A and B are shown apart, each in its own frame.
Chain A
């Protein structure tokens, strides 16, 4: 699994087993897998959920930088894509910020 838009090193993300032995664990707590937090899903923190109303979206891009969880990504053409629901914590900042009401904020239904 790699970063959706930019994978500078083109590497497969790795992490460390919860059951790893002391002989196998990475030395000194150093992690040589930069950016591997992507493997950790925080989407289940949500109780509310943003929904992208594409037809209303003017691609003004005011939403993507306000996301604390890098869950609104922008593609090579400079257009936002759908939410990364693996990481979105449902804070609602993007919905508030959208000037075109193109982001709905609804209850998360599991």
Chain B
């Protein structure tokens, strides 16, 4: 029996630290994200967000502690864990000499989906992300927004258990941002765990179930917006809460 059967956590970050030489990029982080939860991860530049995301994707390994995706340890059962993850980076990668459809086909092949399922899911995600008009063009001709939509479509193609998203709204028009927020929410409602890293606090405020704030490698706050407001003893917007908490952390350190 694996851990996914034992509890509802999609992501378990257990006492994880990551050291770059003398620098502690992530400092003894403990965090669990449940299936169906949209978790937003905030932090100032250089706080350790990207390192955490890279560890969640299996690109980097924790110096100590462990990360489990639906019960699979990313270090020892990496291939199994990565089958359940989709990662949308801030700078999306696409093969310039493939069409959007071929790219989706490739992703489907990589995840071991059968041909019929790939065809079915491709038309579904293409419709969701309004890709029909350009899906058969080479991606080298895509605008930033089209690229971003293609990468999102590829990320959802195999219906991952865990979706990790880094700065998804950069370069998107308001309509696409609205659509993206709806997609993220609906994915969470379908039982997927969403790990969203963003500097767009309005987006986070609107869609997140729970918010984590990282500063200097430490998770300084974690909870719903209400809980964060209580913790910071402030009643204002997420922006005010965020600034207060990260400044307090810096003050503690200095």
To the question of whether A and B form a pair in one complex, the answer is: no
A residues near B (Cβ < 8 Å) are none
B residues near A (Cβ < 8 Å) are none
